[in-house]
Structure 1
Amino acid sequence: MSSTNLPVILLVPGAFGTPDGFERLLPYLNKAGYTTHPGPYPSCNPSDPSSASALHDINSLRENVLLPLLNEQGKDVVIIAHSYGGVVAGGAAKELAKETRSAQGHSTGVIGLIYVAGNITLEGESLLAAIGGDYPPFIQVNKPSEGLSVIEPAMEVLYNDCDRALEPELANLMQPHALRAFETPATAPAWAESAFDDRRAYVRTVDDCCNPSWVQDMWLEKSKVEWEVVDFKTGHMPFVSQPEVLAEQITKFIDGFIAK
């Protein structure tokens, strides 16, 4: 397939980060012929954290990023969602699968979902509930100010398999995140739809200190749907520690989506 006909890859970051965190992955995806597009959402470092919510994030990604790519730019889309980005992207892509939209007369749609250590929440479930109802000790609540949170120590929790020399650069990528994003309920997720059967992929990060592999397993089982799961012996950020290998796996996933 020519690069002009390949889907756009929408990159949805995890909490405490922005799409800039995918920068090391981009050259490898571009070399494979793919165009990428950032998928930010407003609960990352907001001016007013009291206005944040999972629903606000979901609606923002859907209305401001995903629908314009599908309807205005006429692009098919594959979504890569990291960590909390799975909650946001899952809700944003609801009823936007290519099969669903084709039945409605649209020529474009979401052809696949790829979660990288992605958080999986059910309809009406908050991320905080999905992790057991308590924040892990590395999430510092109401820091640097009321309603925000940070991860400390970020290097040990998020980048445990990364070169320590990168610490100053990686620290600059981390942003405070609104607590209400984690504490408010998510909407019904797209991955639960039959239109995404054989179009769900999951990169399971087995050395993850943020989302431990056993937690990822629990989320996958809870979803009650089939995912194509590939294990990566990495920490939470394989697009930093293993970008070339991750890009190769992403292209394999997309090849499978396109072939269906």
Structure 2
Amino acid sequence: MSAGTATTTTPENMRPTILLIPAAWFPPSAYDAFLHAVRDAGYETECASYPSLNPKDPKHADAATDTLFVIRNYLIPLIEIEQKNVVIVMHSYGGIPGSGAATGFGKAARQHQGRKGGVVGLVHSSGFVLPQGLSCADGQGGSLPPWIKENYPLPGLTLPEDPINFFSADVTPAVAQAYVSQILPHALLIFKSSAFKPA
């Protein structure tokens, strides 16, 4: 490029947007510190939420509903409308709706079709990657571990038992308490319903 030649910044040559798909029980606000650090490193961020988190009617809050919610509310706006490249970062249960939602949005396939933007990376942090048709419970031997309290605090909901020791044993007590204080009930059905085909 010759001196003085202007460059045009487009979604295609910008850094990818980081889309975080949370773990069960945690709202997007639980990831504020992490996302702040990512933005400080020069990346745009989005953090998904779920209809299955603290739902009014847990009987209809399953993994497929969460997956479709991620597609409609995050991937379509970011990729189809804004034509951005996206890295999906998935935490724990987030691996199920996150990897399922990514199917069909891969960057290479979209380029082949003459379309811009797409998923350029999948990052799992203690995440579930399951074959199509299996549930989170299936991936753990057919049942949930005993530290997940089923049908609590109400039928169709779950909460983790002793979340500080299970989730935050390696951080200071103050940080751990601030983190687990944000926990909300999550629909039991997300753990027992089938996953989409993962990307």
Scaled by the length of structure 1, what TM-score is found? 0.70
Contact 2:164–2:177 (CA<8 Å) still a contact in 1? Answer: no
Contact 2:93–2:128 (CA<8 Å) still a contact in 1? Answer: yes
Does residue 7 of structure 1 match 2:23?
no
Distance 2:180 2:34 in 1: 18
SS at match of 1:136: coil
**Number of the residue aligned with 1:125:** 134
Does residue 181 of structure 1 match 2:190?
yes
1:38-117 maps to which residues of 2 (within 5 A)?
A: 38-117=47-126
Q: Which amino acid aligns with 2:175?
A: L
Greater C-alpha Rg: 2
Write out per-residue CA displacement over residues 54-112 of structure 1, whole angstroms, 9 at most, x where no aligned residue. 11111110111111110112211000000000001010000111001111221110000
Contact 2:169–2:176 (CA<8 Å) still a contact in 1? Answer: no
**Number of the residue aligned with 1:221:** none
- Root-mean-square deviation (CA), in Å? 1.5
Which ranges in structure 2 are unaligned for 5 or more consecutive residues? 1-8
Identity %: 37
Distance 2:69 2:34 in 1: 24
SS at match of 2:181: helix
Q: Which amino acid aligns with 1:11?
A: L
Per-residue deviation, 1:167: 4.0
Per-residue deviation, 1:157: 0.6
**Number of the residue aligned with 1:165:** 174
Contact 1:49–1:180 (CA<8 Å) still a contact in 2? Answer: yes
SS at match of 1:23: helix
Contact 2:68–2:101 (CA<8 Å) still a contact in 1? Answer: yes
Per-residue deviation, 1:30: 1.4
Per-residue deviation, 1:168: 3.5
Q: How many residues align?
A: 189
Once the two structures are overlaid, the 10-residue window that deviates more, 156-165 or 76-85, is: 156-165
**Number of the residue aligned with 1:211:** none
Distance 1:76 1:6 in 2: 8
Write out per-residue CA displacement over residues 218-258 of structure 1, whole angstroms, 9 at most, x where no aligned residue. xxxxxxxxxxxxxxxxxxxxxxxxxxxxxxxxxxxxxxxxx
Label 1:157 to 1:3 Cα distance change in 2 as closer, same or farther (>3 A).
Answer: farther
- Give runs of ≥4 in structure 1 deviating > 6 Å: none
Distance 2:129 2:97 in 1: 10
Q: Which amino acid aligns with 1:166?
A: V
Q: Which amino acid aligns with 1:18?
A: P
Q: Which amino acid aligns with 1:83?
A: S
Distance 2:197 2:36 in 1: 34
Distance 1:94 1:151 in 2: 30
Write out per-residue CA displacement over residues 135-155 of structure 1, whole angstroms, 9 at most, x where no aligned residue. 211101111100000001000
**Number of the residue aligned with 1:212:** none
